[in-house]
Amino acid sequence: DMFTLGYSFRPWEQPKAIADGPSILDYIRDTARDYGVDRLIRFNRRVVRAEWSSADSQWTVDITETASGRTEQVTCRMLLTCTGYYRYDEGYTPEIPGTERFTGRIVHPQHWPEDLDYAGKRVVVIGSGATAVTLVPAMAETAAHVTMLQRSPTYVVALPARDRIADALRRRLPAKTAYAIVRWKNVLLTMFSYQLSRRRPEVMKRFIRKGLQQQLPAGYDIDTHFAPRYNPWDQRLCLVPDGDLFQAVSSAAASIVTDTITTITETGVQLASGQELPADVIVTATGLNMLAIGGIQLVVDGKPISLPETVGYKGLMLSGVPNLLIAIGYTNASWTLKCDLACEFFCRIVAHMDEHGYTKVVAPWADEELPSNPFVDLASGYVQRSVHNFPKQGNAAPWRLYQNYIRDVLLLKRGPLEDGILQFSAPVAERKSAEPLSA
C-alpha cells in the first residue's frame, strides 16, 4: 500500500491506496523533480567497480555508460548503494522442454514487449507469485482466456484498493497528518499480520481461507489451488486489490491450473496429468534473479571483497568495508520503510563524521567464525538460488536483521553511533578532494 510504500516526507494523495504502476511512477518522478533530485542523477550508467583507499580516505568508482560503453571515474568520501537485490537485466526462466517449437509468442514479464497484442488470444501465465496474480486479471480483460499455471500454490489475500479510514481522515485533517496516521496504522497491521503468521500460523491459515471462501465460487477447489505446503510468510503473501484475481476466476475469464509441465508443444503446454493447455501467448512469470549491490566489485586497499565472507551491521553496512552503506528494504513490509530509515542513518553518520573530523567509519567483525544465517530469510525459490552469494547476518543485534520497523526506528533514528562496534578514524594529513556520490 502506498501509505507505507510512499516516502515518509511526501504524502500519497491519490484515491487508491493500492496503486497501479503508472501512478506510482508519476509519484516518484514528481517527488524527484520537486526536490531537485532528477537534476543530480547521471542516467544510463552502470557502476561496475568501487575501490577504497585508506591512504586517501576515499572511494574511486568505475562507471560504464550503458549505450556507448564509455568509462568514467568519480571519487567520493561516502558510498551509498541503493541497488536493491534483484538483477534487472534478466529474469529467471527455468529450462522448459519444447519452447523452440512453440508457434506463438513466449514473453518474460521483466522484458515485456510494447507491441504484444493478446486481445482475443489464449494466454497461459506460468507462475504463482505477485507478478502472475497481477498479470492474470489485467490480461483477462481483453484476452480470450487466461490460465494461470502453477506448480504449487501461493497464499493470496484480497484487500480494498481504497482505504476507507484514509479517505475519512483526509476529509478532516491536513494531508501530512492524515498520511502519518494511516502510515502507522498500516505499519502496525502489517506487523500484526506477520507476527500472527509466525507465532500462530494455523490461525492465519484459517483467516486467509475464510477470505478465499468469500471471494471464490461455492465449491471451488481451494485446497488444490490456494493451500500452499508452507506456512504464511515463509514466502511472501500475494495481495490482490479488490479481489480482481478472484473476480476473473469467478467470471470464467481466467482459470487456475495446478500441475507440472511435461513439454511445450506447437500450440500450448502439455502437463504431467495429460491435459494440454492451448495457448497463443505464454508468459513465463517464473521469478527473478538476485544480485547483491548491483554486481559492483568491491575492493578495499587492493583486496577484493567476497560478500559471503562479510556480515551485515544493522543490515546497512558490511563488516570490514569502510564508508559504505547499503539501503535495503524489508522482506515482510514495504521496501521504502527501511530505506527511509537507512537514509536517515546515513545522514546521521555523515553529520557525526563532519562534526568530529572523522574520515573513516567501519564495522569490524570480531569473531573468528562467520555466522551461517542467510542475509535474506525467505524460503522462496529465487532467494534460495542466490542467497549464498550475499553477506551473512549474525544471531543478535546489531548483526541480526529483525525485520521489525518499530525496533529499527529506535535503533537507526535514536540509537547511539558510538556503540563500541563502529570504529571512527581521525583524518589523515592530506587527502585528495572528493565529491559525494550516491550510486
Question: Cα–chain-centroid distance for residue 17?
Answer: 18
Closest to 137 in 3D by CA, of 221, 299, 256, 281? 256
Q: What average pLDDT does this structure show over 293-321?
A: 96
pLDDT digits (tens, 9 = 90+) for 9-61: 999 999 999 998 999 999 999 999 999 999 999 999 999 999 999 999 999 99
Percent of the chain with pLDDT over 70: 97
Point out which residues pair with 71 in neighbouring strands. Answer: 64
Give the strand pairing for 373-374 and 392-393: antiparallel
The helix, strand and coil proportions of the chain, stated in percent and rounded to the nearest 5, come to 35, 25, 45
Give the pLDDT band of residue 437 (cuts 50, 70, 90).
very low
C-alpha cell of residue 292: 547483491
At 171-223, the pLDDT tens digits run 999 999 999 999 999 999 999 999 999 999 999 999 999 999 999 999 999 99
DSSP 325: E
89, 301 contact by CB (below 8 A)? no
pLDDT digits 0-9 by tens, 374-395: 888 776 777 888 888 999 999 8
pLDDT for the residue numbered 438: 44
Express each pLDDT in 219-275 by its tens digit.
Answer: 999 999 999 999 998 888 999 999 999 999 999 999 999 999 999 999 999 999 999
At 426 the pLDDT is 83
Whether pLDDT at 293 is above 70: yes
Does residue 282 carry a pLDDT above 50? Answer: yes
Residue 433 pLDDT more than 80? Answer: no
**What is d(CA 305, CA 290) in angstroms, rounded to the nearest whole number?**
18
Quick one: pLDDT at residue 382? 74
Over range 68-96, report the average pLDDT: 92
Record the pTM: 0.87
Q: Using CA atoms, how far apart are residues 223 and 227, in angstroms rounded to an integer? A: 5
Question: Rounded mean pLDDT of the chain?
Answer: 92
Give the H or E element holding residue 241: strand 238-241
Burial zone of 269 (CB within 10 Å; 0-12 exposed, 13-18 middle, 19+ buried): buried
pLDDT tens, position by position, 123-174: 999 999 999 999 999 999 999 999 999 999 999 999 999 999 999 999 999 9
What is the percentage of the chain residues whose pLDDT exceeds 90?
Answer: 84
Query: Tell me, what's the pLDDT at 88?
Result: 87
